[in-house]
């Protein structure tokens, strides 16, 4: 599972974080 989160901060005001996650969360 590829998880994408966007956080405030970084050079352009947004920071994209890609996570490879093989676990499923209850809110998925």
- pLDDT confidence of residue 16: 74
Res 4 pLDDT > 70: yes
- pLDDT confidence of residue 10: 65
- 8-23 pLDDT tens trace: 776 777 777 777 777 7
Angle at Cα 24 formed by Cα 17 and Cα 13, nearest 5°?
A: 15
Q: Which residues contact 4 (CB under 8 A, 6 or more apart)?
A: 16, 17, 18, 19
Q: Say which DSSP state 5 is in.
A: E
- pLDDT confidence of residue 6: 76
- pLDDT confidence of residue 28: 65
pTM of the predicted model as reported, rounded to 2 decimal places: 0.28
């Amino acid at each position: 599972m590829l998880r994408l989160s966007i956080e405030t901060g970084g050079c352009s005001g947004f920071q994209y974080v890609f996570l490879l996650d093989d676990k499923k969360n209850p809110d998925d």
